[in-house]
Amino acid sequence: MTAHSGKTPGWLDWHPRPSRPRFRLPEGAVDAHCHVFGPGEVFPYAPERKYTPCDASKDQLFALRDRLGLTRSVVVQATCHGADNSAMVDALRASGGTARGVATLRPDVTDAQVRELHAAGVRGVRFNFVKRLVDGAPRDDLRKIVERIAPYGWHVVVYFEAADLAGLRDFLLSVPVPLVVDHMGRPDVAQNPFGPEFESFLDLLRARPDIWCKVTCPERLSVSGPPALGGEREPYRDVVPFARRVVEEFPDRVLWGTDWPHPNLVGHMPDDGLLVDFVPHIAPTAHLRHQLLVANPTRLYWADAP
């Protein structure tokens, strides 16, 4: 794709009127995985992108945050903006310190550029290994990027699918800064949460105490889907046992987020209020919920904040 040629056919726009969650979030709750898209007129989408989304501006993101009862956000650079972090940085600068960011970098990034991103509130870089989203980057390029960011205390956010973990494991374990894994490594939730595939993912988390995990995207992983209209408000129940295993075994290194505006969904667009109501099912005590929603993301992203 070379120009902003309209949304990808079949694109599902974000929910215009999410319900108010029944679960009341604790004070200081962080949305540790969300994006801004454009607006394309101001922040054009990258020529190398694999999809063209609907616009989803910082103001719309912050309005959703208020509606759901969240306090802070971590804005993760999405692949449709490539390594042009302007839209994400614009959101951080407008947030008055209530948003941090995760950037995409090229290996020729300069120290001055990393310093400027750090000053804007960026605290991590994302390595995306999902083949439908990006063309793969050579491992040496990724190592160069890690050398640039390590002095700033940043971490690497990694996005991969369960089938690709075996081929990535050695590389991931060799990265000399903390790692944050997106969406539980995208398990196939039709499998047993105690079966070999998910066990192998948990082994990655067991291998180092500085590997964090986002228990996010039930709407992306679920086969059973959201509750049927008029049904019980127990969202995405087939994802619950997977996320709950991670929360209970690694309570001090799990993160939660909305993934708003939910790029590339097929079939249904989640009601963001329901995503909040997923939380008490995966974190059954007030203490676990405080770690997941407040203490952990605050430690990782606002450690230097007053």
Residues tagged active-site: 259
Q: Residues near 281 by Cβ (< 8 Å), separated by ≥ 6?
A: 234, 235, 237, 240, 244
- Nearest distance from residue 218's CB to ligand 0GY, in Å? 13
Site string for ligand 0GY, 24-53 (x = CB under 6 A): -----------x------------------
Tell which one of 219, 259, 271, 277 touches ligand 0GY (CB under 6 A).
Answer: 259
Query: Cβ closer to ligand 0GY: 102 or 202?
Result: 102
Tell which one of 36, 61, 68, 78 touches ligand 0GY (CB under 6 A).
Answer: 78
- Nearest distance from residue 304's CB to ligand 0GY, in Å? 26
Q: How many residues bind ligand 0GY (CB under 6 A)?
A: 10
Our finding on whether 296 is near ligand 0GY (CB under 6 A) is no
- Nearest distance from residue 111's CB to ligand 0GY, in Å? 25
Our finding on whether 133 is near ligand 0GY (CB under 6 A) is yes
Our finding on whether 54 is near ligand 0GY (CB under 6 A) is no
Our finding on whether 74 is near ligand 0GY (CB under 6 A) is no
CB 176 within 8 A of CB 156: no
Our finding on whether 182 is near ligand 0GY (CB under 6 A) is yes
Stretch near ligand 0GY under the rule CB under 6 A, chosen from 12-20, 24-32, 76-84, 109-117: 76-84
- Nearest distance from residue 93's CB to ligand 0GY, in Å? 21
Our finding on whether 55 is near ligand 0GY (CB under 6 A) is no
Our finding on whether 101 is near ligand 0GY (CB under 6 A) is no
Give the binding site for ligand 0GY (CB under 6 A): 35, 78-80, 133, 159, 182, 259, 263-264
